[in-house]
Chains A and B, each alone.
Chain A
Amino acid sequence: MPGPVITATKLVKKYKDFAAVDGISFQVAPGESFGLLGPNGAGKSTTMRMVGAVSTRTSGDLEILGLDPNAFGPEIRSQLGVVPQTDNLDTELRVRENLMVYGRYFGLPRAAVAARASELLEFAQLADKAKAKVDDLSGGMKRRLTIARALINEPRILLLDEPTTGLDPQARHILWDRLFRLKEQGTTLVLTTHYMDEAEQLCDRLVVVDKGRIMAEGSPAALIREYSSREVLEVRFGSERNADAATRLAGIGDRIEVLPDRILVYSSDGEAELARITELGLHPITSLVRRSSLEDVFLRLTGRSLIE
């Protein structure tokens, strides 16, 4: 098996006294789709900037494609594709020009960039927008153009920081489809997200990050198996009765999480737990049985929700 394309060992990034990244270690194998899942401010973007060789680490070791980013920034960056959290497309240039100019930044020959730009416009479903102004594109189109731009140098690793934040559901699904194709083609993807559905769709393996540290690591399914039950029963009693009802639910299910607006009951059989609650004489206003998700894993690990 080929060696990892990214190896981070006890990676630390401090801004003055504040440690944005506080001793993170992970490896990414070639062709793997790797995710950093965590709430805002967890240190995901800072980690991505260090992996993208645009931020120097405070301590620890980092190797990207076998090179140390402190010494080989340009060499590493020439083999990466970067999709930043906020689009930084060149609004003074047209859609196709964005791809052309970006390819030239890598020192690639004009003819090769032109051929590649046409392919990528097709891939990003923007071929009919080639001459459009960037500002006239929708949010989803801009995002796809940013991804196309990041692929202009045929990167060995594609870094995506919150790829679908701020997009409507339809645009997200189009984007996921494109990313899934890249994954099928063998591109190594590293992405950060605070959406668990995104992580579940796109990541082979992920780390849960909170406050600059890794809380858990594994495939989405393995994490759910390890840190949560098969099913979750969500019951609501109304905000006033919520806390009171929670005390009477002791002993129901494997575990209970009390949130301000609802109670989560973890169990292998949600319906059975709901029946027991009714037997206790408690009548929730609404109830819902669902499968466990990474949200539950995060709640278990940190006691907090992902999106606050």
Chain B
Amino acid sequence: MTGIREQPRASVSAGRPFKALYAGNASSVMQRGWLATRSTNWLVVVSGFFEPIFYLLSLGIGLGSLVGNVTAADGHDIPYAAFIAPGLLATAAMNGAIYDSTWNVFFKMRFAKLYEGMLSTSLGPLDVALGEIGLALARGALYALGFMVVMQVLGLNLSWWAIAALPAVLLVAFGFASFGMGITSYMTSFQQMDLINIVMLPMFLLSATFYPLSVYPEPVQWVIQALPLWQGVELIRGLTTGVVGVGLLWHVLYYLVMILLGLILTTRRLRALFLD
């Protein structure tokens, strides 16, 4: 049989513990995902794309005609649809990332034994985590881009800052995807997987998505502010409505920490499950 290459002899380097976790080849995991999505899952991808758009049309345009204007953070009046659209955008990013990193991952982990196969190659757990999360991000970006085009058409992007909402959406998706995958690794049954929905739905409805945070009494506000979706909604709302200040960086920091913790959790769990 043909020779492919010289086998690289291992060299001992200072980064040894890290090398056992990461082979720098997350892209092969992503390529696998594209190939699989192309052949089997495209319908799910399409349905996830339209969900937030229906919300925007029914609540933003429909309900919005009753509500009229709301007051933005800087005191200006903005249309209700422009108020909730960034909330829906953040939620779409969250849902896309969560679907890929929870249900998809759960299936691959428990039934398809996909990761077992991957981890008997030279891939490390961090390659698998980054590859799967990268795929979730790509999908989140696709949803976000489509939704933002709809927002633009409806005149709901009130500032040029809205362009920055796109990377912000990726940040939000990254945070949810890395945590979602880590948490999914603890799940052993479909019943437990339903817990994820039990957390996601109230978070979607209550995170100042449809009304300002100020409607809550102060102690409740603190709780809401601690939730990741509120952080994402505020960040993206600031950008699409053009109310931009240094304060937005706190939301960015929140997500950077969330991403880091999520990646650590996921990598450790993959290692414990498949490389014990």
Contacts and interface: CB of A to CB of B under 8 A. Distances in A.
Q: Do A and B come from one complex?
A: yes
Interface of A: 52, 54-56, 67, 71-75, 77-80, 82, 84, 86, 88-94, 97, 101-102, 104-109, 112-113, 115-116, 119, 153-154, 156, 185
A56 B32 CA distance: 28
Dominant secondary structure at the B interface: loop
Nearest to B23: A74
B85 to A, nearest CB: 34
A116 B122 contact: no
B275 A154 contact: no
A77 B122 contact: yes
A189 to B, nearest CB: 16
Contacts of B10: 67, 72, 75
24 contacts: A52-B120, A54-B120, A56-B275, A67-B10, A71-B16, A74-B19, A74-B20, A74-B122, A75-B8, A75-B122, A78-B7, A78-B122, A84-B117, A92-B35, A97-B35, A104-B25, A105-B25, A105-B118, A105-B122, A106-B121, A107-B122, A112-B4, A153-B4, A156-B7
Contacts of B41: 92
Contacts of A75: 8-10, 122
Contacts of A97: 35
A94 B275 CA distance: 27
B122 A106 contact: yes
Shortest 7 CB-CB distances between A and B: which pairs? A75-B10, A88-B113, A92-B36, A78-B122, A105-B121, A104-B28, A82-B120
Nearest to B24: A107
Contact of A84 (B25, B112, B120, B121): B120
Interface in B117-140: 117-124
Contact of A108 (B5, B12, B113): B5
B276 interface: yes
Contacts of B32: 90, 93, 101, 104-105
Contacts of A106: 121-122
Contacts of B112: 88, 90-92
A71 B14 CA distance: 12
| Most chain A C-beta atoms within 10 Å of own C-beta, residue among B2, B7, B124, B274 | B7
A71 B19 CA distance: 9
A77 B121 contact: yes
Contacts of A101: 28, 31-32, 35
B213 to A, nearest CB: 42
A74 B124 contact: yes
Nearest to A155: B7
A88 B114 contact: yes
Given A91-B112, A107-B25, A154-B4, A102 B119 contact: no
A84 B24 CA distance: 25
Contacts of A108: 4-5
Given A74-B123, A78-B122, A54 B36 contact: no
B121 A102 contact: yes
A79 B5 contact: no
Contacts of B276: 55-56
B184 to A, nearest CB: 18
A73 B20 CA distance: 6
Contacts of A84: 113, 116-117, 120
A88 B20 contact: no
Given A75-B10, A107-B25, A90 B114 contact: yes
